[in-house]
Amino acid sequence: MKPITDNNTCRDGSRPYRIFVINPGATSTKLALYENDRAVWMSGAHHSAADLVRFHRSTEQYEYRMDFIRRRMQADGIAVGFDAVIGRGGLLSPLPGGVYRVDEKMKRDLLTAEMDHVCNLGALLADELAQECGCPAFIADPVVVDEMQTVARYTGIPGMMRKSVFHALNSKAMARQYASKAGQRYEDISVIVAHMGGGISVSAHRRGMVIDVNNALDGEGPFSTERAGTLPAGQLVDLCFSGKYTMKQIKKMIHGHGGLMAYTGTNDMITIARRAEDGDEPCRTVLDAMLYTVAKQIGAMHVALHGEEKAVIVTGGIAYSDYCMKRLKAQIDFLAPVVVMPGENEINSLAYNALCVLTGRIEPKDYSEMCRTGR
């Protein structure tokens, strides 16, 4: 990728491009305004479980999230007047990586998406603000980027194939950043990336392709602050047919009210780690158990990469927690060097992708056309 310099200006050369970025996460909303490649405003917040509990489907959070965005903009005097708005990409059909223009089909598909996650709102929120100022709206590297190798797709039940649903944008951005610092190309190396946010994905990157990854949304891999990981299939079937729970309730156990949230009543790792450090139960034991599932998943990706990974990169909000990182590292540092890159590069990567489109470095893909032709 070419570096962006300060000389990128609008077509008339009079001012920098203004790019508004929206990143709705399971437990947070992050916002930014960029002038070319410079962030001139950043805002966001963690949304408590108490605030989100009233919503069944993520699309029901549209007004809540839009209201949050407008209040943050108003508080800091950010006027609607952008050259592009870019949002996090949602649960569309499996797609190659890249930048996509938000169109009517994409909006329809997101509103009726089979899988539910608040990233489905990224394109919809971006589109509302973009329409207000008459500029284009985009998404980039949505969570459905699918580069899995064939053998990783099988489950043992014909017709049930594994799905690639993960933190594609940040995981690839962090892997690129790591490669570049090591003086290498992402396309030439292997790395494992464990993204630990509201969901946890552990992806195996081989020469620029994510050849295997757990579905971070739907009960696969490690459990997280608010999600169940891989479940014992037989026991799950028994639960489903016990007559005690509706389908909605079971789905919520898997995604939203599962994981540490179900054991401790909070999805906030800062609180859970503090309690664990103080020796409070069940926080201490269930957090250890969660980290154990992450370590095991990293071990599985080590095998997928034949042990050729240069490093295990640990990223996402939870990577800020020294308590968690110390306990995780102790379980995996015999595999490869562990590199902690806390937080996420999603906002920056989204802005970068939008700027590349505005300056003609990237041609945005046509989502409807891609769905029609498969290319």
Ligand X SMILES: CCCC(=O)OP(=O)(O)O
Ligand Y SMILES: Nc1ncnc2c1ncn2[C@@H]1O[C@H](COP(=O)(O)OP(=O)(O)O)[C@@H](O)[C@H]1O
Stretch that binds ligand Y, among 107-115, 128-136, 206-214, 266-274 (CB under 6 A): 266-274
| Beta-bridge partner residues of 95 | 145
186 binds, among ligand Y, ligand X, none (CB under 5 to 8 A by kind): none
Q: Which does 167 bind (CB under 5 to 8 A by kind): ligand X, ligand Y, none?
A: ligand X
Q: How near is the Cβ of 196 to ligand Y at its closest, in Å?
A: 7
Specify the residue, 30 or 310, whose C-beta has the smaller distance to ligand X: 30
User: Pairing state of beta strands 200-206 and 209-213?
Assistant: antiparallel
CB of 268 to ligand Y, least distance (A): 4
Q: Does 36 bind ligand Y (CB under 6 A)?
A: no
Q: Which is nearer to ligand Y, 28 or 230 (CB)?
A: 28
**What string marks each residue from 224 to 263 as x (binds ligand Y by CB under 6 A) or -?**
-x--------------------------------------
* Closer residue to ligand X (CB): 27 or 36: 27
CA 317 to mean position of chain CA atoms: 11
Residue 98 C-beta: closest distance to ligand X, Å? 18
Comparison of 169 and 370: residue with beta carbon closer to ligand Y = 169
Nearest C-alpha neighbor of 23 from the set 110, 118, 122: 122
Question: Closest separation between CB of residue 246 and ligand X, Å?
Answer: 23
Nearest approach, Cβ of residue 331 and ligand Y (Å)? 18
Q: How far is the CB of 163 from ligand X (least distance, A)?
A: 10
For residue 8, the minimal CB distance to ligand Y (Å) is 28
Q: Does 198 bind ligand Y (CB under 6 A)?
A: yes
364 binds, among ligand X, ligand Y, none (CB under 5 to 8 A by kind): none
Minimum CB separation from ligand X for residue 149, in Å? 20
Residue 217 interacting entry, from ligand X, ligand Y, none, C-beta within 5 to 8 Å by type: ligand X
**Among ligand Y, ligand X, none, what binds residue 120 when CB lies within 5 to 8 Å by partner kind?**
none
Residue 268 sits in the site that holds ligand Y (CB under 6 A):
yes
Stretch that binds ligand Y, among 48-56, 100-108, 265-273, 300-308 (CB under 6 A): 265-273
Residue 190 phi, psi (nearest 5): -115, 135
Query: 106 is in the binding site of which of ligand X, ligand Y, none (Cβ under 5 to 8 A by kind)?
Result: none
The correct pick among 20, 316, 338, 354 for binding ligand Y (CB under 6 A) is 316
264 scored as a contact of ligand Y (CB under 6 A): no
Give the 3-state secondary structure of the chain.
CCCCCCCCCCCCCCCCCEEEEEEECCCEEEEEEEECCEEEEEEEEECCHHHHCCCCCHHHHHHHHHHHHHHHHHHCCCCCCCCEEEEECCCCCCECCCEEECCHHHHHHHHCCCCCCHHHHHHHHHHHHHHHHCCCEEEECCCCECCCCHHHCCCCCCCCCCCCCCCHHHHHHHHHHHHHHCCCCHHHCEEEEEEECCCEEEEEEECCEEEEECCCCCCCCCCCCCECCCCCHHHHHHHHCCCCCCHHHHHHHHECCCHHHHHHCCCCHHHHHHHHHCCCCCHHHHHHHHHHHHHHHHHHHHHHCCCCCCCEEEEEHHHHCHHHHHHHHHHHCCCCCEEEEEECCHHHHHHHHHHHHHCCCCCCEEHHHHHHHCC
Q: Nearest residue by C-beta to ligand X?
A: 199
Q: Give the phi and the psi of residue 58 in degrees, each rounded to 5.
A: -60, -35
Q: Which residues bind ligand X (CB under 6 A)?
A: 25-26, 117, 119, 143, 165-167, 197-199, 216-217
Sign of CA dihedral 231, 234, 240, 243: negative
Q: Near ligand Y by CB under 6 A, which window of 55-63, 213-221, 312-320, 366-374?
A: 312-320
Q: How far apart are CA 335 and CA 133, in angstroms?
A: 50
Q: Return residues touching ligand Y (CB under 6 A).
A: 25-28, 197-198, 225, 267-270, 273, 316-318, 320-321, 344
